[in-house]
Amino acid sequence: MDGPAPLFDRALIDARARRALRGPEPVADFLLRAAADDLVDRLAAVKRQFTLAADIATPRPLLAPKLRDNGQVGDVMRLSRLPPFGDDHAFPTVVGDEELLPFRPASLDLAVSALVLHFANDLPGTLVQIRRALKPDGLFLATLLGGDTLTELREALATAEAELTGGASPRVAPFAELRVLGGLLQRAGFALPVIDQDRLTVRYATMFDLMR
């Protein structure tokens, strides 16, 4: 018997990411840059050194250089869903899938990930794999889009569709609530998980400007 259909079409997500990276227009990566800066700031509050760190599938090579430059991390490697592009060859890179981690058990001192895990079809399984890849005293830091993301767009599309057709279907991807994420970390075996949220309001003239 087949299981439930995947929530996200990962091949389509990869194709769109590849097109954005190679397109003529600059990539709108301000959210990713903010997330990377936030992760490094939080890492600076941890007073210890990390011999080996892995950047797990952060969409662009923005986080790894910040880890290298903060002075707490020895070696940094990247897991990337896409092959290195352009001048993206500064760090050892493994092309793979964050839902099928290639790391040996207890091999990492630090695992970080910025704005990608919300697209995992099996987030509980991915978190278990990350925990297993970490040493017993390893640290995991991640940012992902939470449950209130794109609320206004979701409500506007549902209202418009209901008025036109008398019903509504989901048009915006679901994102996990804070309490759910905390429970998933506990189930994955992380000790002393800490979850918080940061709200950032960005305004666009139309939804098409947002989508671009």
Same domain, 26 and 83: yes
Same domain, 164 and 186: no
Largest CA distance in the chain: 58
What gap in Å lies between CA 35 and CA 29, rounded to an integer? 10
What pLDDT, on a 0 to 100 scale, did the predictor assign at position 87?
56
List, for residues 122-172, the tens digit of each pLDDT value.
999 999 999 999 999 999 999 999 888 888 888 888 888 888 888 888 888
- When divided into structural domains, the chain yields a total of 2
What pLDDT, on a 0 to 100 scale, did the predictor assign at position 1?
47
Q: 5-9, 15-19, 85-89, 164-168: lowest mean pLDDT where?
A: 85-89
For 211, the 3-state DSSP assignment is helix
Rounded to two decimals, the pTM is 0.88
Q: Which two tokens stand for residue 152?
A: 């206004």
Q: Is the pLDDT of residue 115 over 90?
A: yes
Q: 36-45, 92-101, 108-117, 128-137: lowest mean pLDDT where?
A: 92-101
Q: Is residue 4 part of a domain?
A: no
Same domain, 170 and 118: no
Q: Which two tokens stand for residue 2?
A: 């087949």
Q: Is residue 1 part of a domain?
A: no
What gap in Å lies between CA 55 and CA 89, rounded to an integer? 14
Q: Is residue 205 part of a domain?
A: yes
Q: Is residue 14 part of a domain?
A: yes
Q: Is residue 136 part of a domain?
A: yes
- Mean pLDDT (the chain) is 88
Q: Domain containing 60 — which CATH number?
A: 3.40.50.150
| Domain interval for residue 138 | 10-144+176-211
List, for residues 11-34, the tens digit of each pLDDT value.
888 888 777 777 666 667 889 999
Q: Is residue 3 part of a domain?
A: no
Q: Is residue 2 part of a domain?
A: no
What gap in Å lies between CA 159 and CA 144, rounded to an integer? 27
What pLDDT, on a 0 to 100 scale, did the predictor assign at position 85?
67
Same domain, 99 and 181: yes
